[in-house]
Amino acid sequence: MTPTALSSLCRLDDIPDGNAIDVEAVVAGETESLLVYRKGGEARAYLNVCPHAGRRLDYAPGKFLVRNGNIICAAHGATFTADDGLCQTGPCKGQSLRDVPVVVIDGTVHLV
């Protein structure tokens, strides 16, 4: 698949390493808020929705609590492993964030 066939979300350098930003994208025909997390030269993306109560994960628009490779829901404190989106602690333990497939090509994060 060529980069022109993919939807560009952001530059990898737009995301501080070990942190996340909010990006809007069309996913399955709907405009969605995505949490895009960076770890070194890789990126992961999830819908910006906590599986516990369907609330946004950010504490302010585009501002996420990310500590030691974990994403923390600002509403109820659920803690998700950033690498796979699995909830480790909190009211939705064992559930996962909804993964959105992305790929990094030439320093740009693309929706697959």
The pTM for the full model equals 0.93
Contact 19, 37 (CB under 8 A): yes
Q: Which residues, in sequence order, are CB contacts of 23 under 8 Å at separation 6+?
A: 9, 10, 33, 34, 36, 45
**Cα separation, 6 vs 79, whole angstroms:** 31
Share of residues in the chain with pLDDT > 70 (%):
96
Share of residues in the chain with pLDDT > 90 (%):
94
- Please tell me the predicted confidence (pLDDT) of residue 1: 44
> For 36-79, how does the pLDDT look when each residue is reduced to its tens digit (9 = 90+)?
999 999 999 999 999 998 999 999 999 999 999 999 999 999 99
Q: How confident is the model at residue 5 (pLDDT cuts 50, 70, 90)?
A: low
Torsion sign across C-alpha atoms 67, 34, 10, 24: negative
Joined together, the tokens standing for residue 6 give 């993919």
So what CATH class is 3-104?
Answer: mainly beta
- Please tell me the predicted confidence (pLDDT) of residue 6: 82
pLDDT at 81 over 90: yes
